[in-house]
Structure 1
């Protein structure tokens, strides 16, 4: 193996490019530090100093190559906003992202470091902010009584799409997206369908 002397961002880019290439061509199961080091023209200790675990390396490559969707649609209706947002998420997810996450979740069963890496990756997500913006618009239009919902609810649509992709593979079908929106999310946030705010519950 020929080791090319690089530093800083150039070296990081070469490593993450090599990682993403292996993930695309061979999948997460065959991702190794040795393979990445050989392809990137560096050494395993260099990789380990930056990403101590295979899970962290895979997630870093995935985030760089296929960043999650963050833009909030503005279609004028809560339902169509949600459907469009989840379609964007599915399109941005990609088959490799689904395969990587499936591999990572399998690894969490036996590796606490993989568990920590996946939890940190989820915590960095801005999808909750996107959902909050969509619900705020819906509240202003009178489609829901309030946009003040728990953070867990803000994450839920993306958690369900992620689970759908991991369990059944990509692409996630339009009817699955519609079911997530109609059967789970809209009832949960109190969507009124007709645009009239839901009545407040009686006191006591």
Structure 2
């Protein structure tokens, strides 16, 4: 009886400690994966290396992420998502301007090189490209379409323009310069893009 009670008494304390340890391990894995992604790129990133740096076993990682691509994208997004959210300034044009400036700031940092590496590596790794589309591209486009629709509802933007085309017109040039590096990414470039594209999007009084 004493043994049974002792075991029962110990169980809650073990469970109480388990969740924080689980969350701590999750954060350590993402941090380790992001650091290695920055240091060696996606192609040389390994689950073994992440496990060693995070001080966890490989099974701990595989229970959370089935592929290296999924882990890499989650690690990248956990670092950058808070920085690139859309504001609500009261003007949809300014909402896009501010958010695109956030993207440019990210692209001009070390995270931009990681993003370029992920896109480049995705050309030869279908799993990585699928993870990029699912976790980065599509959520970002859904956010942009939501802001676009807000502009239509406020009668700031035309309702006869395809939102997908408008988003491509605004954001594709940023990725073009990120990948080809033929010209700089700057706030002035964002201003010029906004001025040109919104001439075709804005409702004419």
Q: Which position in structure 2 is the counterpart of 1:182?
A: 195
**TM-score with structure 1 length normalisation?**
0.71
Q: Which position in structure 2 is the counterpart of 1:15?
A: 29
Q: Which position in structure 2 is the counterpart of 1:71?
A: 86
| Uncovered stretches (5+) of structure 1, i.e. residues with no partner | 198-204
Moved more, 84-93 or 123-132: 123-132
State whether residues 104 and 186 of structure 2, in contact with CA within 8 Å, keep that contact through their aligned partners in structure 1: no
Q: Which position in structure 2 is the counterpart of 1:104?
A: 118
State whether residues 104 and 187 of structure 2, in contact with CA within 8 Å, keep that contact through their aligned partners in structure 1: no
Alpha carbons of structure 1 residues 74 and 169: separation in structure 2 relative to 1, 3 Å: farther
2:85 alignment partner, SS class: coil
1:150 corresponds to 2:162: yes
Which structure has more helix as a fraction of its residues? Answer: 2
Cα distance, 1:61 vs. partner?
A: 0.6
State whether residues 98 and 169 of structure 1, in contact with CA within 8 Å, keep that contact through their aligned partners in structure 2: no
1:136 corresponds to 2:150: yes
Take 2:137 and 2:40, find their aligned partners in 1: how far apart are those partners?
Answer: 28
Q: CA RMSD in A?
A: 3.3
| Uncovered stretches (5+) of structure 2, i.e. residues with no partner | 1-17
State whether residues 70 and 126 of structure 1, in contact with CA within 8 Å, keep that contact through their aligned partners in structure 2: no
Q: Which has the larger radius of gyration?
A: 2
**TM-score with structure 2 length normalisation?**
0.71
Take 1:89 and 1:61, find their aligned partners in 2: how far apart are those partners?
Answer: 17
Cα distance, 1:138 vs. partner?
A: 6.7
Take 2:141 and 2:39, find their aligned partners in 1: how far apart are those partners?
Answer: 28
Aligned residue pair count: 185
Q: Which position in structure 1 is the counterpart of 2:75?
A: 61
Q: Which position in structure 1 is the counterpart of 2:55?
A: 41
Cα distance, 1:186 vs. partner?
A: 1.6
Moved more, 156-165 or 37-46: 156-165
Take 1:77 and 1:60, find their aligned partners in 2: how far apart are those partners?
Answer: 29
Q: Which position in structure 2 is the counterpart of 1:200?
A: none
